[in-house]
Amino acid sequence: MLSTALMAAQIPVEWKVDPSPVPYPEAVREMEARVEQIRQQHAAERVWLLEHPPLYTAGTSAKDADLLDARFPVFRTGRGGQFTYHGPGQRVAYVMLDLKRRKPDARAYVHDLEEWLIRVLRRFGVAGERRVGRIGIWIPRSNGREDKIAAIGVRLRHWITFHGVSLNVAPDLSHFSGIVPCGVREENFGVTSLAALGQNVPMVEVDEALRRSFAEIFGPIAGG
């Protein structure tokens, strides 16, 4: 007999890709509505890939001093973490999974999100790494510097996840200078992207890598 977690993992996850930038308040409203539908078992779990117009979001641990230049709209949000930037050229993946049916373990879930991003990067020849005490995926550089290429910020409601991850594909990295990304102020830490690392990958290929790697870790996706 299959375990409850394995049975949940066998139910295909809905995969949605939005072709146009989605305003942040609209995305939050849609996520919250979907979380409630999942809780009531009226809808399937979902992964939603999108881009946002340029903006900053502040997680529950954000410090006002880490907002250096509010050149873009700033949104306070209930996800974990500190300040981050979203904008064109960055793939955001909002993940709505029912951990109560899968595995009610928030730390294990974040570890799986990290593994998802690491596997995606590996498909493009980039070695992303975890760091103890620093959320996200990091790229070690030859000069001793470490640059962040992907961020993670999640929230759980009734053990259903929302918010998720963001991967820097080819955003304008100067837009990150308006904040202290994730509260890391040390000079030897920065941000990077696939494009900055010489990997000029079309977003459609990134999406396919996200899809394949997600299925390896979390289970089947509807339609493939």
Q: Cα separation of 143 and 35, whole Å?
A: 44
Residue 201 lies in a domain: yes
Residue 140 lies in a domain: yes
- pLDDT, residue 10, reads 64
- Tell me the pLDDT of the chain averaged across its residues: 91
Q: Cα separation of 216 and 204, whole Å?
A: 19
- Secondary structure of the chain in HEC code, one letter for each residue: CCCHHHHHHCCCEEEEECCCCCCHHHHHHHHHHHHHHHHCCCCCCEEEEECCCCEEEECCCCCHHHECCCCCCEEECCCCCCEEEECCCEEEEEEECECCCCCCCHHHHHHHHHHHHHHHHHCCCCCCEEECCEEEEEEECCCCCEEEEEEEEEEEECCEEEEEEEEECCCCHHHHHHECHHHCCCCCEEECCCCCCCCCCCHHHHHHHHHHHHHHHHCCECCC
Task: Indicate whether 206 pLDDT > 60.
Answer: yes
Query: Of 62, 182, 184, 194, which is the active-site residue?
Result: 182
- pLDDT, residue 184, reads 61
- pLDDT, residue 1, reads 30
- pLDDT, residue 39, reads 96
Residue 185 lies in a domain: yes
Residue 159 lies in a domain: yes
Residue 224 lies in a domain: no
Residue 223 lies in a domain: no
Residue 175 lies in a domain: yes
The CATH number covering residue 182 comes to 3.30.930.10
Give the whole-number percent of the chain exceeding pLDDT 70.
92
Residue 45 lies in a domain: yes
Query: Burial letters for 84-105: b for 16+ Cβ neighbours within 10 Å, e otherwise?
Result: bbbbebbbbbbbbbbbbbbbee
**Active site annotation includes 94:** no
Task: Indicate whether 6 pLDDT > 50.
Answer: no
Domain range for 101 is 4-218
- pLDDT: is 142 or 204 the higher one? 204
Q: Do 167 and 180 contact (CB within 8 A), yes or no?
A: no
Q: Over the stretch 131-189, which tens digit does the pLDDT of each residue have? A: 988 889 999 987 778 999 999 999 999 999 999 999 999 999 999 999 987 656 556 78
Q: Number of folded domains in the chain?
A: 1
